[in-house]
Amino acid sequence: LAKTTQPISMDSYEGQEVNITCSHNNIATNDYITWYQQFPSQGPRFIIQGYKTKVTNEVASLFIPADRKSSTLSLPRVSLSDTAVYYCLVATDRGSTLGRLYFGRGTQLTVWP
């Protein structure tokens, strides 16, 4: 089962680049990797999704090595409003009644002025 492991917390300063790595050693061939952002008392918000190599959108980049056993979310030039919990999600055993959707425990990112 493709459970995920992330750092519990990270600190950064405004304007810096932040990289959060998620480990998913048992990821299956057809699984996608998705990252979400969550503020207190709100539902998670989609940030970025990828299958392999690199994906970039207007807010973040996602790097996935060839073995796909990990992925790194990169946030360029963070601001105070990026302070939130970031979750890594991998779907596993798709199509199986034993399939699971796993969120990582989440990484609390705190951005300081």
The answer to whether 14 touches 7, Cβ cutoff 8 Å, is no
> Among residues 74 and 105, whose Cβ is nearest to other proteins?
105
Q: Where are the beta strands (DSSP E) in the chain?
A: 9-13, 18-23, 33-38, 45-50, 53-56, 61-64, 70-75, 84-92, 100-103, 107-112
Question: Is residue 49 near other proteins by the rule CB under 8 A?
Answer: yes
Whole-angstrom distance, CA of residue 38 vs CA of residue 57 = 18
Contact range with other proteins by CB under 8 A, out of 12-20, 56-64, 73-81, 91-99: 91-99
CB of 79 to other proteins, least distance (A): 22
Residue 37 binds other proteins (CB under 8 A): no
Listed ranges 14-22, 57-65, 68-76, 103-111: which one lies at the site for other proteins (CB under 8 A):
103-111
